[in-house]
Chain A
Amino acid sequence: MKISREWLQTYFKDSLPSGEKIAEALTMHAFEIEGIEKTGKDEVLDVKVLPNRAHDCLSHYGIAKEISAILDIPLSKDPFEKENGLKPKTTSVLVSVKTKKVTRFSTALIKNVKIGPSPQWLQARLEALGQKSINNIVDITNYAMFDLGQPLHVFDFDKLSTKEGTVKISVRESGAGETLETLDDKIYDLPKETILVTEDKDVQKILGMGGIKGGKEAEITENTKNIILEAANFDAKSIRLTSKFLRLRTDASVRFENGIAPELPRFVLPAVVKLILEIAGGNLEGYTDYYPRPRNPYKTGVSLKEINSLLGESLTKKDVEKILKRLHLPYEVIAPYEKVLSLGKSLVGSAYSYGASISYDAPRAFDCSSFTAYLFAQAGISIPRISIDQLFYGEEIQEADLKAGDLVFSRGNGTVHTKTLYFMKGKNFEPGVSHVGIYLGQGNVIHASGKESRGKVLEEALSESPDFKEVVSYRRILQDDERRFVVTAPFERLDLEGSADLIEEIGRIYGLEKITSASQKKETLLKIDKNFFYINKIKHFFQERGFSEVYTYAMRNSGTLEIENPLASDKKYLRKNLTDGLKESLQKNTWYAPLLDLYDTGEVKIFEIGEIFKSLDTEEPLISIAFGINRVKSKEKATLETKERLAEEFQKLLDYLGSKKEIKPGDIDVSVAECDLEEIIKNLPEVSAYDSLKPSIQKKYTSLSPYPYLLRDIAVFVPETISSGDVLTAIEKQAGKLLVHTMLFDQFKKERKISYAFRLVFQSHDKTLSDAEVNEIMALITENLNHKNGWQVR
């Protein structure tokens, strides 16, 4: 996201450092920076907000908080501090929400605004981010989104039909065949279940796709007087699916698909109203607010031991507290068992409700496992939600070792679970679990007793409780009562779910770059991979036999398995063999032969080992091995047919490995042999160590020219005392850098003279060489050689 330094500055009294310094701080402690742009006296940073922080950091306030934490400078304001409860209310707008995909829908009605251009400062803010200024109202809503992260939408009140001065809005999911014309004059065929904001009457005008884009119908124009502002919260998954389906990504959809806090509207909407009244005038009629299920503040915690164990550092309690304060994370330091027990006792009498949610229903109502999960969450330990999962989370203990705070599991009238559901899914526990409570010490237990029993949270003697007649297990959650930092996550920090998230926060503010490397204790047993061992052996065998290894492309123009979304029409299939690719490679390299050292041998010899694809089965991948030979000089007579040569090489490989495989006629094509690796190595012995490697030489790669090469042959008669090297040096000296490869291909003696014949390969890195250019060079070479005493170009 584009972030303006000037804009950030509005959050600080202290003067911020330069854009470059801010970028450095963010890079090392939060996000990478994709670029810094200077515009006038402002600097705009392109911040690559990480996906887990898209909830809160796609906004200037989010980034300001980060900078405050990293640079340890105080924020001068907190836009989420004060709220007015979205008052006064208005009855002129009636919203009915008919889908569960909308968790909040807040509106404000403002009358008599004056639409016009935005003031200079506002235009400048948006321009800095590359946003076009439209008019004061639209600009203010965009400004609020880039400032605080809540997308908003505006409707023209007067374009909606009213009944006795009231506008009725319905928020629902689309049915089949609905379309919408959007603000940018495009018409979209909406997929089913798209969230729609519509008029609420028989014939409905669709006002917009909730959370993605507004419609043309209620667009505000320069004549607009009365407006409805919308700040809502839409289901992340639904927004993502619609946005993907329509290939329509907007600043709003990006924020909603990552999920943002439903708390935002109660702060953002009044802020926007205030700004509109200041800039565009008008008067606030009032708010409406649909928010049926407010979420409880979320708590999670971590201990010092856990922090240092994961980071491998030795932070102190003081270090951690300082960092939490810098991060603006409210926390308390508590003894977890003490908290669980005291809080538990204070909840005696709370109602039982099966399936009660920790986030929404606690502490008003619980079921047995939400009660235990809630207590531990308040003590900073996130344990699983379901009783059977809690059982597996805890460490088994004996009845005799039972301590206050341990979990007691029983089997009774309720639903009995024998298999874990979410935590370590699928683990089995016979005889099964239906109920859980917390041991209080002195024989007492506290638990949320089911509807069929007493239907509330109660404390009683374990031995006398009808819910614990058949105790099946005792489990311990924590080994000790080490104090924990229990953080109440700010509502916008949806990423803070467990202790590891807090450790990440602490680690990055402390400075991950400060972590010092630790030496490792060897505690693992090295296993030798048989396939890999023999593959390497085979590769080295081939190398010794003069074969070079190639990798060919796995996506081809034919095969058994087809790709749903291929990159190109000639890459639609997965290779069904290596042979096809190898044949192409043989051909290609025959053409390149003059550029390769292999020319002397008169053959291109290559091999490949890799996966081929014949079925969708993922359990037994097919590893194939193939090798091929092609003669470069066709005029030469081969001593053996290529096929026989391949068979011979194949047998040598099998003998070398001691493989019992028998070569079948089908294994060898005209120029390539191929077979399943498994066939070769299945009877080979297990291995206990890898072969060591010769120390590798630091190689430097010379890039390849994409242009064709030209060949010239030259033969020279020289006195017999002259070596071929002398001749070559003379040629190279004259030829310059366009001569990329040479080869001596003939020599003979005649009357105290000797003839050397060379093949010269010319190629440029910059262009296609013309015959004329090379002829000119050849003429110079010839002239130069003829000039020498006793030398004669033939």
Chain B
Amino acid sequence: MKGMKESAPKLKGHLHPISQMIEEINLIFSKMGFSFVEGPEIETEYYNFDALNIPQWHPSRDMWDTFWLKPQNARKLLRTHTSPVQIRYMEKHTPPFAIIAPGKVYRHEATDATHEAQFYQLEGLMIGKDISLATMKGILEKFFSEFFGRELKARLRPSYFPFTEPSVEVDMTCIRCNGVGCATCKGTGFIEFMGAGMVHHKVLEAVGIHPREWQGFAFGAGIDRLAMMKYGIDDVRLLYTGDLRLVNQF
């Protein structure tokens, strides 16, 4: 088959879209002083729940459907969020600090085109002297704008998480219609993007950070959801099937 090709074969491979996003997310946040931190996917009940002010019997635990590992009495689980990474970091470091913790998490949920039992999450944490919801809003807007390549606004709404108080939902200008209102944002001009809030004093206390001296925010978003938004991926399950028909598009 000598000399049959008119153009050189494409030798370069492709990186998984989630990898590309995490690398980009890290660069955006590192410019704002956020360090990249990782942790184990198997966690203890303490780091995944108790340290985050989610006691065992509390109804708020229902917010995280959990895979438990055998033997049951070991109380080990697949982390349901990357918040344990934040706890582990706070235990070992003295504020001020700012970190992001992207990583794989697991939820015991029925899967469909928009839900997978394993997926990627981006969490962030900033603790300092005068860190406020306004600081957080500024940082997230900067992130959204750089990540999507145009100026985007954030909007805060009330929410509840056991580990933050006040807790908020962070909406962002709808990237389909630029805030005009369309089917994607149900005419509101905003899309729900992440949960966030000011770190609960009990969480700070539990890691030995004095809540009277330090305060800060934490946020968490699904990276898979960002992929759906950014690239129009319509079935998140395909991200984890080792399928080059998807990967090679990126």
Contact = CB atoms under 8 A, between A and B. Distances in A.
> Does B associate with A?
yes
A589 B247 CA distance: 11
Contact of A550 (B57, B59, B111, B242): B242
B239 interface: yes
Given A561-B70, A701-B234, A507 B166 contact: yes
B133 A311 contact: yes
B191 interface: no
A512 B57 contact: no
Interface in A486-511: 498, 500-501, 503-504, 507-508
A523 B128 contact: yes
B142 to A, nearest CB: 8
A310 B38 contact: no
A724 B133 CA distance: 61
A611 B41 contact: yes
Nearest to A604: B244
Contact of A621 (B15, B40, B111): B40
Contacts of A604: 244
Contacts of A180: none
B183 interface: no
Contacts of A517: 134, 137-138, 141, 154
Contacts of B104: 554, 610-611
A400 interface: no
B51 to A, nearest CB: 11
B11 A546 contact: yes
* Most B-side CB within 10 Å, residue of A536, A564, A589: A564
Interface in A544-583: 544-555, 561-567, 574, 581-582
A309 B215 contact: yes
B225 to A, nearest CB: 14
A458 to B, nearest CB: 30
B242 A606 contact: yes
A652 interface: no
A241 interface: yes
A171 B232 CA distance: 58
Contacts of B4: 744-748
Given A240-B57, A524-B97, A597-B248, A515 B242 contact: no
A246 interface: no
A116 B44 CA distance: 56
A53 B128 CA distance: 29
B242 A600 contact: no
A557 B187 CA distance: 45
B29 to A, nearest CB: 9
A527 B201 CA distance: 26
Contacts of A500: 165-166, 198, 200-201
A512 B104 CA distance: 30
B39 A424 contact: no
A582 B241 CA distance: 10
A704 B236 CA distance: 12
Contacts of A53: 160
Nearest to B108: A565
Contacts of A595: 245
- B interface SS class: mixed
Interface in B209-243: 209-210, 212, 215, 231-235, 238-243
Contacts of A566: 67
Given A524-B128, A724-B6, A552 B242 contact: yes
Contacts of B206: 424-425
A28 B235 contact: no
Nearest to A495: B160
Contact of B232 (A508, A701, A724): A701
B177 interface: no
A355 B137 CA distance: 44
A516 interface: yes
Highest count of chain B CB atoms <10 Å: which of A27, A526, A542: A526
Which of A52, A562, A608 counts the most chain B CB atoms within 10 A?
Answer: A52
Contacts of A519: 138
B182 interface: no
Contacts of B78: 563, 574
Contacts of A313: 134
Interface in A587-630: 588-589, 592, 595-598, 600-601, 604-606, 608, 610-611, 613, 616-621
A553 B117 CA distance: 10
Nearest to A600: B9
Contact of B158 (A241, A393, A504): A504
A216 interface: no
Interface in B1-56: 1, 4-6, 9-20, 23-24, 26-27, 30, 32-44, 47
A517 B137 CA distance: 5
Given A257-B59, A611-B40, 14 more contacts: A32-B157, A392-B210, A518-B132, A522-B32, A523-B33, A524-B98, A539-B19, A547-B13, A549-B247, A552-B241, A600-B10, A613-B42, A693-B23, A746-B4
**Interchain residue pairs A-B with the least CB separation, the first 6:** A312-B134, A312-B132, A585-B242, A504-B166, A517-B138, A50-B160
8 contacts: A50-B159, A503-B166, A507-B133, A512-B158, A523-B128, A529-B37, A699-B231, A700-B232
